[in-house]
Amino acid sequence: MKKVTLGVVGFLLLFLMQAVAQEHYTEGPIWQVSLIRVKPNQNDAYLTSLQEKSKPLLDEQKKQGVILDYKLFINTTQHDPQDWDLALAIQYKNFAALDGLAAKGEAIRDKILGSKKAAQDVGEKRVEMREVVSVMLLREVMLK
């Protein structure tokens, strides 16, 4: 009986802690944010690559409902030469939207770029233009 009581109390405490944690906000969508440092003299080439190769992919993913939105940010307040230059943010409805994402992305990739090889070529060229500083998943929240 003691184990059952402790189990119930533990479950209630877990539930209460979750409720308290969310009393200040409502959970929103998920953002995958990639922070990019563009190599010297490669800004034009990198932005052209994004415009010609990534934008059509992202637009098609948005059209098919795989993603909700995407944004590109330019860092105007760099603190040192190792700081990031561009941030690419992709918005997903929730964490469940990430399930099966690779398969959905591959189908769209093949439709837009033609093949896995074409995408690999784009990736190899981008290695010469930029460095990925960080990639993170963020939960958007709305204050109550």
**Which pLDDT does position 12 carry in this prediction?**
60
What strand order describes the sheet that includes 86-92?
69-74, 86-92, 25-38, 130-143
Tokens of 13: 């405490």
As a whole number of Å, the end-to-end CA separation of the chain is 40
**To the nearest whole number, what is the mean pLDDT of the chain?**
89
Q: Which amino acid is at 122?
A: V
**Tell me: the pLDDT tens digits for 88-111?**
999 999 999 999 999 988 989 888
**Which pLDDT does position 1 carry in this prediction?**
61
**Tell me: the pLDDT tens digits for 46-56?**
999 999 999 99
Q: Which amino acid is at 36?
A: I
For the whole model, what pTM was predicted? 0.81
**Which pLDDT does position 69 carry in this prediction?**
98
Query: 65 versus 115: which is more confidently predicted?
Result: 65
Question: What is the full DSSP assignment across 74-114?
Answer: E-S---STTS-SEEEEEEESSGGGGTTHHHHHHHHHHHHHS
Instruction: Specify the range with the lowest mean pLDDT, choosing from 6-15, 24-33, 130-139.
Output: 6-15
